[in-house]
Structure 1
Amino acid sequence: MKPRFWRGWSIGLRMAFITMLPVVLLFSSFVWYSWYAHRAQVDEELAERGRILARALAETSEYNVISGNLSDLRLTIDGLVQSDSSIYRVDIVDTTGRNAVSVLSKHPIRPEPRWYEATIRKQVVWINLFSDNGAPHVSASSGTRAPTQTAEVVGRVRVTMSPTNMLAKQLHRFRIELALAALALAASGALAYVLARSLTVPLQEAIGKLRQIRGGHYRVQLPVTTGGEVGELQASIGDMSVALERSKQDLENKVAERTRDYRKLIQKVNSIVEDERKSIAVEIHDELNASLIAVRLGAQTIGQLATKAPQGPEVEQIRDNAQAITKMALDLYANGRRLVRRLRPEVLDMLGLHGAVEEMVSHYRSSGVHFEFDSKGDFSRIGNELAISAYRIVQEALSNIMKHSQAGFARVSLTLSDAAHALQIEVRDDGEGFDPALASEGIGIIGMRERVFALGGTIQVQSRPGEGTLVAISLPLDGTGAE
């Protein structure tokens, strides 16, 4: 059976309760027995004194009762009663039951509910001075008979005792005993408190250290201050702290190593993608566009020859087809140029990051959204890899604005901070916004995060429904993200 009343108690309170419960029970038993013993002693002493006093008065008052000298008897009894505070009342009762003498104590005491009674007897001695034949006795040796005694009841003595004074004396002794017992109880309580504290303080320290470990502070110092199970607990917590700290460090090292590998992989992938884009752009620019130029020139030559030939329906059709081929070649060449700019922005190589972003923002202004661009710093110090990644990040952010935000205004800011040794990028719009806690990230934001993390930077996306969106990015100037 498990006690339920102390489920909410602390272990210190439980220990104090366990320690003090038998002490309190022993104290209560001692107090009750002490008072019972003192009271029983008073009752026994009063009973004994009452019986002795009644017999003594019965023996000494025989003559006064027989002779009727009750005044002297009253004085004697009165002196006895007033001198002994344990006597409450003495009554001399004759054979008819009438009080011949009654003396009451003048002390402020209370009587017992009973009295002690002794019989007053008149002793009569009969002596026969003659022999059986009527002759007087000559000597005691002549065969005289022994005298005959008879007893006659002439009254009774009733003594009523009072326990007041005896109880007062016993109460004084009981109070001294109670004070000593209470002192012992207080000492036991203080000892129980000290012992409970010696157990609870190490436990509280251990609990505090466990809470620190639960909060993530694995390296804690917990000295072993006691023995037994509590000491083993303290030692175990210390060992666990060391093991957790070592495991945490190993895990952090593995995570850091995997993060570095992941960043290097992303950088490698991005580099390969950019190289492939550059290769495709070069092929489009050098081969496809050259072919389209040749086609356009051939079509123009055919058209010129058609104008010199004799006119006819066939010649007119040749000239129209040559013009259509020329227009189609020009359109394909323009589309190729746009595709090349998307794959490998030439303006980034010619104007750098600042000019490339400004040119991109100017291009998006034709979409109906009012774009603003501002910059601060010398962007010529930015490396090629960092410039390409920053350009792609801004490009993806503006693409998201055009696809999802329904914005009417957007601002792009580039800041090269020498103090932070980082490139700060901010893209803000006044569109519909979203709740980041509820909405899942799209492919565009995930791509931006991967590029930022690959360079060792940070990205923050702040948005609320109806209040637009802010994308804040910080990229270190080394552009590698390696540690």
Structure 2
Amino acid sequence: MSWGFWRNWSIGTRMACIAMLPVVLLFASFMGYSWYSHRIQVDEELAERGRVLARALAETSEYNVISGNLSDLRLTIRGLVQSDASIYRVDIVDSSGHGLASVVSETALAPQRLQYGAPIRKQVIWINLFSDNGTPHITAPSDIRPPTVTTTNVGEVRVTMSPTYLLGKQARRFRVELAIAALALAASGVLAFLLARSLAVPLQEAIHALRAIRGGNYKVKLPVSTGGEVGDLQASIGDMAIALNLSKQDLENKVAERTRDLLASRNEALRADADKRKLIQKVNSIVEDERKSIAIEIHDELNASLIAARLESQSIAALAGKLNAATPAPEIEEIRLKAQAITKLTLDLYASGRRLVRRLRPEVLEMLGLHGAVEEMLRHYDSGSGCSFTFHSEGDFSRLGHDLAISAYRIVQEALSNVMKHAHAAHAQVSLVLQDDVLRIAVADDGAGFDPVLSSEGIGIIGMRERVYALAGTMAVHSTPGAGTEVGIVLPLEDRVNVS
């Protein structure tokens, strides 16, 4: 058994053991010593009685042994044995060891191992009746000479004692002592239990209060039920609970106030964000309208002027050709060549204007829809770019409104522009899926990629994200260095579907 077995005991058990252990040890010591002293007392009393009885019987049995009157001797011994329950047996033997008389007690149970003996002596007194000169002896006052005494052993008395009777008496006394000591021990146990309980119960109440406080119940009430250190502990726990309750209320008030401030800030931020999205959407709409206006002006005015300039330059070249055929001259030939150069320049300007018009206002989007516009864009990027493009689409894109379609087109355009500028990819894939009133756009490439944690977002991604947020959509960018980039966009169609 480990010496630390008591470490898991409760404080009440420890206090009870501390109070009762010395009492139990004292009780066991006292009872052991009491029983030992009673046994020693019995042995001493038996030895004293045995020696006294042996000497008394030896002095009173001299005449009966010498005279051979053994019947009277037996009667005397039997009466003595019957009157004293502590005598087990009395034996009278002669000088040669032969038994003369033997009496065994009828009440004694167990003999003692020791025997007590006393010799039976025959005393012969010789009295000198004559003086030394032969005359009769006349006792004078000055004559103090004792008579001559001669002793002879004629037998022996052997007494065997029985401790049963005396042990019984001592056992009754021991039982009384044991009962008194047991009552004292029981009283000590009750007192120890009460003392341990008076300490354990307040401590248990204090522990329950602390557990309640740990669980968040700061309104627990712990009355001071005792004095001393335990009472101070109860008072301290009560004061701590009150202080914690006040601190909790103060903290809750601060948290509530801070929560109100945060909610106000959040609502303000949401309003600002909503306003920003509306502003971005408005700006994008204005930009698209301005692009459309510029494209119309380029198409209707600039391109028309270029066509007129081309026709005039062609007319000048034709006239110069006719003049040069009639009257050849170097100046006329130079005029014809300049006119042809102007014609080529106007054609190039017209082509550039057409390309600019397509970038500003993708007419193909109005003619073919989002699906055809994205396909046309991919064919444009695929021609001579060194990167092959794959296109996948699902859904009826004719249901999309113009604003959502142009925004989706611009998002794909910006994503492909980033692929061409930064990815250095060999293959890219564009996916458009219109399903459950949600437009999903995915652009993935196998290019260089980047680390989103270490690299900051570029202007292109920021512009795409703001355009997506303005449409109440979501955007996710996943990229790994050396493993390409994937952009996923989800745009809701809420109230943006062209039901017409």
TM-score (norm 1): 0.65
Q: What is the CA RMSD across the aligned residues, in angstroms? A: 4.2
User: 2:216 corresponds to which residue?
Assistant: 216
Letter in 1 for 2:194: V
Q: Which has the larger radius of gyration?
A: 2
Query: Post-superposition shift, 1:18?
Result: 0.8
Aligned partner of 1:12 in structure 2 is 12
The aligned runs of 1:183-262 (5 Å cut-off) are 183-262=183-262
Look up the match of 1:92. Answer: 92
SS at match of 1:368: strand
Contact 2:278–2:470 at 8 Å: present in 1 too? no
Aligned residues of 1:289 and 1:333 also touching (Cα < 8 A) = no
- What is the CA distance between 1:28 and its match in structure 2? 0.9
Q: Distance in 2 between matches of 1:176 and 1:412?
A: 104
Q: Aligned partners of 1:225, 1:405: CA distance in 2, in Å?
A: 72
- Once the two structures are TM-superposed, the CA of residue 65 in structure 1 deviates from its matched residue by 0.9
Q: Which residue matches 2:433?
A: 368
3-state DSSP of counterpart to 2:72: helix
Q: Distance in 1 between matches of 2:492 and 2:285?
A: 32
Shift of 1:131: 5.2
**Are residues 6 and 316 of structure 1, via their aligned partners in 2, closer, same or farther at CA, if it must alter by over 3 Å?**
closer
Instruction: Look up the SS of the partner of 1:89 in the other structure.
Output: strand
- The alpha-carbon deviation at position 186 of structure 1 amounts to 2.0
Secondary structure of 1:97's partner? Answer: coil
Structure 2: distance between partners of 1:45 and 1:250: 86
* Pairing partner for 2:472 from 395, 401, 422: 395
- 2:362 corresponds to: 331
The equivalent residue for 2:115 is 115
Q: 2: distance between equivalents of 1:22 and 1:6?
A: 17
Corresponding residue for residue 26 of structure 2 = 26
Give CA deviations for 1:110-152 in whole Å, capped at 9, x if unaligned: 2222222222222323344455565557x76699987544333
Matches of 1:24 and 1:78 in 2, distance apart? 48
**Offset from partner CA, 1:147-199 (integer Å, 9 cap, x none):** 54433332221211111111012112212221221222122122211211111
Aligned length: 369
Q: Who is 2:167 aligned against?
A: 167
Name the CA shift for 1:322/1:120 in 2 (closer, same or farther; >3 Å): closer
Partner amino acid for 1:156?
A: E
Map of 2:320 onto structure 1: none
2 CA distance for matches of 1:410 and 1:170?
108
| CA deviation vs aligned residue, 1:280-308 (integer Å, no higher than 9, x gap) | 54455457734641551353134445666
| Aligned partners of 1:50 and 1:160 also within 8 Å | yes
Q: Provide the residue aligned with 1:62 in structure 2.
A: 62
- The whole-number CA distance in structure 2 between the counterparts of 1:55 and 1:412 is 135
Query: Aligned in 2, Cα 1:279/1:368: closer, same or farther, shift over 3 Å?
Result: closer
SS of match in other structure, 1:367 = strand
Distance, in Å, in 2 between the alignment partners of 1:322 and 1:288 is: 17
Q: Which runs of structure 2 are paired with 1:440-459 in the superposition (5 Å)?
A: none
- For 1:393 and 1:322, locate their aligned partners in 2 and report how far apart those are by CA, in whole Å: 31
> Where does 1:411-450 land on structure 2 (aligned, <5 Å)?
none
Q: Which amino acid aligns with 1:101?
A: A
2:195 and 2:184 mapped to 1: Cα distance?
16
Question: How far did 1:4 drift?
Answer: 3.7
Change beyond 3 A, Cα 1:162–1:252: same
- Call closer, same or farther: CA 1:175–1:306 in 2, change over 3 Å: same
Q: What amino acid sits opposite 1:331 in the alignment?
A: P
Are the structure 2 counterparts of residues 161 and 49 from structure 1 closer, same or farther at C-alpha, using a change threshold of 3 Å?
same
Q: Does the aligned pair in 2 maintain the 1:296–1:325 contact within 8 Å?
A: no
Offset of 1:64 from its aligned partner? Answer: 0.7
Whether contact under 8 Å (2:291, 2:361) holds in the other structure is no
Q: Gapped runs of 5+ residues in structure 2?
A: 315-339, 371-399, 409-430, 439-467, 480-484, 495-500
**Counterpart contact for 1:370–1:410, Cα < 8 Å:** no
Q: Is the 8 A contact 2:16 2:192 kept in 1?
A: yes
Q: Residue 181 of structure 1: SS of its match in structure 2?
A: helix
* Structure 1: distance between partners of 2:302 and 2:127: 196
CA distance in 2, matches of 1:325, 1:318: 10
The 8 Å contact of residues 294 and 360 in structure 2, kept in 1 or not, is answered as no
Secondary structure at 1:155 match in 2: strand
1:83 equivalenced with 2:104 (yes/no): no
Three-state SS of the structure 1 residue aligned to 2:8 is coil
Given that residues 85 and 108 in structure 2 are in contact (C-alpha distance below 8 angstroms), is that contact kept between their aligned partners in structure 1?
A: no
CA contact (8 A) 2:124 2:149 kept: yes
Alignment of 1:266-285 (within 5 A): 266-283=266-283, 285=285
The Cα shift of 1:56 comes to 1.6
- What is the alpha-carbon distance in structure 1 between the residues aligned to residue 53 and residue 226 of structure 2? 68
- Compute the displacement of 1:330 (Å): 1.9
1:395 is paired with a residue of what secondary structure? coil
Residue by residue, what CA displacement relative to the aligned partner does 1:346-379 show, whole Å, maximum 9, x if unpaired? xxxxxxxxxx99x989x99x83263268xxxxxx
Q: Deviations over 1:398-452 (max 9, x none)?
A: x459999999x99999xxxxxxxxxxxxxxxxxxxxxxxxxxxxxxxxxxxxxxx
Are 2:122 and 2:153, in contact at CA under 8 Å, matched by a contact in 1? yes
- The answer as to whether partners of 1:87 and 1:162 remain within 8 angstroms in 2 is yes
**What is the percentage of aligned positions where both structures have the same residue?**
53
Q: In structure 1, how many angstroms separate the alpha carbons of the residues matched to 2:51 and 2:202?
A: 67
Give the direction of change, closer, same or farther, for the CA distance of 1:107–1:296 in structure 2 (3 Å limit).
same
Cα distance change of structure 1 residues 333 and 245 upon mapping to structure 2, 3 Å threshold:
farther
Distance 2:16 2:31 in 1: 22
Q: Secondary structure at the match of 1:24?
A: helix
Task: State the partner residue of 1:447.
Answer: none
- Equivalent position SS for 2:7: coil
Query: Which amino acid in the other structure matches residue 395 of structure 1?
Result: A
| CA drift at 1:73 | 1.0
Q: Which piece of structure 1 moves more, 24-33 or 102-111?
A: 102-111
2:8 and 2:219 mapped to 1: Cα distance?
31
What is the Cα deviation at residue 224 of structure 1?
Answer: 1.0
Q: AA paired with 1:329?
A: L
Distance 2:239 2:193 in 1: 30
SS for the counterpart of 1:223 is: coil
Q: Secondary structure at the match of 2:119?
A: strand
2:457 is aligned to: none
| Residues 95 and 153 in structure 2, CA contact (< 8 A), matched pair in contact too | yes
8 A Cα contact 2:220 2:241, kept in partner: yes
